[in-house]
Amino acid sequence: MATGSCYHCDEPLTGGAAVTLTLRGEPRSFCCEGCRAVCQLIIDEDLDAVYRYRTAPQPTARTLTDTESRRIALYDHELVQRSFVSALPDGKRREASLLISGISCAACIWLLEHHLGQQHGVEHLTVNHTTHRASLIWYPDEVALSDLFRAIHELGYDASPWDASEADHRRQQESRSALIRLCVAGIGGMQSMMLAVPLYFGLIDGVSGNLETFFRWVSLLVATPVVLYSARPFFRNAWRDLRTRHLSMDVPVALAIGLAYSASAVVTVFGGEEVYFESVCMFTFFLSLGRYIEMQARHRAGLSDQAAGSQTPTIANRINGQQEAIVSIYELTPGDHIRLYPGDTIPVDGEVVSGQTTVNEAALTGEYVPVSRQPGDVVHAGTVNGDQPLVIAMTRAGAGTRLAGILRIMDRVQAERPRAARVADRVAAVFVGTLLVVAPLVGLGWWLAGTGRAFDIMLAVLVATCPCALSLATPTALTSATNALRRRGFLPARGHTLESLATIDTVVFDKTGTLTQGSLTLTGTDALANWSEDDCLSLAAALEVHSEHPVAQAFKPFRRPGWSVDGVRNHVAGGLSGQWQGQTVAIGHAGFLQAQSDLPLPDHAGMIIGLTVGNQLVARFHLDDRLRPDAIETVQALTARGLETHLLSGDRSTHVAEVAQATGIHAWRGECTPEDKLNALKALEHQGHRILMVGDGLNDLPVMAGAHVSVALGRAADLTQLQADAILLRQQLASVPEALTLARRTRRTIRQNLGWALGYNITALPLAAAGIVPPWLAALGMSASSLVVVLNALRLGMASSPGAGYRVTMNPASLPSSNPAR
């Protein structure tokens, strides 16, 4: 008969011979073949470290039922994937947002990430420790998504598509549970204090021994649910940290609560002088109160994004001829027409087909002022239609929408811990280790001194000097500042963005589509070599249809059926080339065309782009691009703050000089290749500068990767956005100085928080060690210290726009125009 528990899932072994497996020379017993098989799989992949570091049993292995197998197989269908899978810019990879069930500790996440990472066709899996949201990037041509679901299931976990409403439900459950624990601790604290008063007077005025014993037993009864229920998170977290050889603030807290309660229970049962039930209840209450307020601040920081995701409709009113039908958004295909009524939340990304209205885009940009939308304009999921009906043509739904991308970025930022937070955690761990040595020494010293307060003082030292505030100092400030930037339309896309922004002293701009509007217009066409103007425009449009550069938008109205170019190549910072009717055709600036066909440099090459067929120049196109309305004020604001500004562009030097002069940028360079821009950044870096790069087009990619912080405008190419450290959702350059100002305020706030936390702990330690602070007051002081840090960090999210003082009124129409280069 097998006895004991299963090595994998910790379920009791019942009946019959145990299923065994030898692990590192020792026989291990399992409750079933499933658990043994999973353990063998973990060993085969050299992942058995999970058994050493886990803080809870692994989920019980079980076989997939036929129904579950059929459900998982459905995830391979494109229609089903639309709700949680998006295509990455390279066209080869896909990213799925999943919710993993059955995770009980950090070891579970480590096992999942490493197991999936070893699967063929998987680039990586990352799991958020708080929400259990997983981001899976894989190659669908190499492995089916259903196979990866099965790989997760074979470890005993369950995976399902991420649902924002489910995340909202989890958050509400967490908040409700924390509130109940807080109430239980509060009621216990009040009752125990009421019972403690007679005990205090009993020590002085001779309250009868029987009555004192009765009050102690009632206090034990009151304190027990507080310890077992309200304080359970402290014990659970402390046990987890000890198992993983990591010291956190929960270790001294759990130790103090456990020691005080145990000692008081022993005194109550066997007799003695002092009990600490009121102290146990009160500092459990104060600690729970501080944690609850911190949790609410954390939830509020992410509430707007999660709410936007959960409130986006999953149905739409599709128009089919003269009929309308309500369908799931995942049944829609690109081009389907959808009717929207006043006040509707737009369910998908699309292009306005008919109707004029205003749209509230606060869910995307944080800007509550409605913007006008008319036929040809783009609208996005999660935004709200104004007071007029609208018909749009769907372009993207579900995980492919702009809102879904923003939510994925926000989740990635929350999962990445910046260097300052990691350093604070290490300092807190050292402080906890020191505290666990100092507290017993203090207690021993008082015991040797012959006082009866040794245990009381040791508890006070454990609680008063717990570094909760130190651990909260950095993450709360970063979360609050990130949320404030998000409302300003500046979306940090990396965990280190805010920290790095605070150190910037030099800002480098691209020209086309960054300082200029990027919405180019064709102002003239010179048709040459007996080509008609219409044919020149049609061939140019057939080439430019393969580009995402702002130049391509100028030719979009001239696309004609029957005109197509094969084998098109994008020459970064140059132009496009391809094959048309057996001849090589190219479009671009003069330097590029000269290199392609040995043509002489045209007289006005800097102001136009050319079109060649074979070795013959057949057209010159005149383009116009105006400065952004806030370009001048942005440069002025940056200069006023003492930052250097530079302009690097692939355009002709004469036009780069015009833009630099108009904006007030003194350091500029034109006719730059991507390599030239990167070399210029390296030269600035060698001079000791910390560089922020602001760009828009494909030719900014190498420079973005070489800058300390990179910012892409909201309409930049997808690949650029993914490589950038931040995105301007409103496409307003004025957000850049605002972000730099807020980043420096965030750094200052973090230093204030760290100074307060360290100062409090340094002051509290001698006071508690001297016996001046009782345990319950120590708990109040420690909780108050944490609240000061949290409230100070929340000020970052309440401040008015930091860039407001730099506004300069200009008339964009009076500014010079510039001409683009790729």
Catalytic site positions: 510
Count, in order, helices (H) and strands (E) of the chain. Answer: 27, 30
| Alpha-carbon distances of 400 from 134, 348, 620, 786, rounded to whole Å | 17, 9, 38, 40
Strand 337-340 to 390-396 pairing: antiparallel
Q: Provide the β-strand partners of residue 188.
A: none
Strand 691-695 to 709-713 pairing: parallel
With beta carbons less than 8 A apart as the criterion, state whether 289 and 230 touch.
no
CB count in 10 Å sphere of residue 422: 11
Query: What size, in residues, is the chain?
Result: 822
Closest CA to 234 of 249, 213, 216: 249
- Which H or E run contains 575? strand 575-580
Query: To the nearest 10°, the Cα dihedral for 228, 229, 233, 236?
Result: 40
| Alpha-carbon distances of 502 from 103, 633, 730, rounded to whole Å | 36, 21, 22
How far apart (Å, rounded) are the C-alpha atoms in residues 223 and 191? 9
Buried b (16+ CB within 10 A) or exposed e, 77-97: eeebbbbbbbbeeeeebbbbb
| Residues 6+ away with beta carbon under 8 Å from 781 | 464, 760, 764, 773
With beta carbons less than 8 A apart as the criterion, state whether 574 and 592 touch.
yes
3-state secondary structure of 808: coil
Longest dimension (CA), the chain: 118
Alpha-carbon torsion (556, 561, 563, 567), positive or negative: positive
How far apart (Å, rounded) are the C-alpha atoms in residues 196 and 216? 8
3-state secondary structure of 177: helix
How far apart (Å, rounded) are the C-alpha atoms in residues 69 and 200? 66
Query: To the nearest 10°, the Cα dihedral for 146, 148, 154, 155?
Result: -150
Closest CA to 434 of 761, 752, 755, 786: 761
Cα 528 off chain centre by: 53
How far apart (Å, rounded) are the C-alpha atoms in residues 671 and 303? 46
Closest CA to 664 of 632, 710, 695: 632
How far apart (Å, rounded) are the C-alpha atoms in residues 244 and 49? 11
| Alpha-carbon distances of 618 from 538, 582, 637, rounded to whole Å | 12, 16, 45
Closest CA to 34 of 8, 57, 15, 71: 8
Q: In what order do the strands lie in the sheet with 323-328?
A: 323-328, 315-320, 337-340, 390-396, 349-354, 378-379
Residue indicated by tokens 């307003």: 732
Tokens of 641: 């703050």
Q: Amino acid identity, residue 186?
A: G
Q: Is 572 exposed, middle or buried (0-12, 13-18, 19+ CB in 10 A)?
A: middle
How far apart (Å, rounded) are the C-alpha atoms in residues 546 and 227? 66
Write phi, then psi, for 578 (nearest 5 degrees): -170, -170
3-state secondary structure of 642: coil
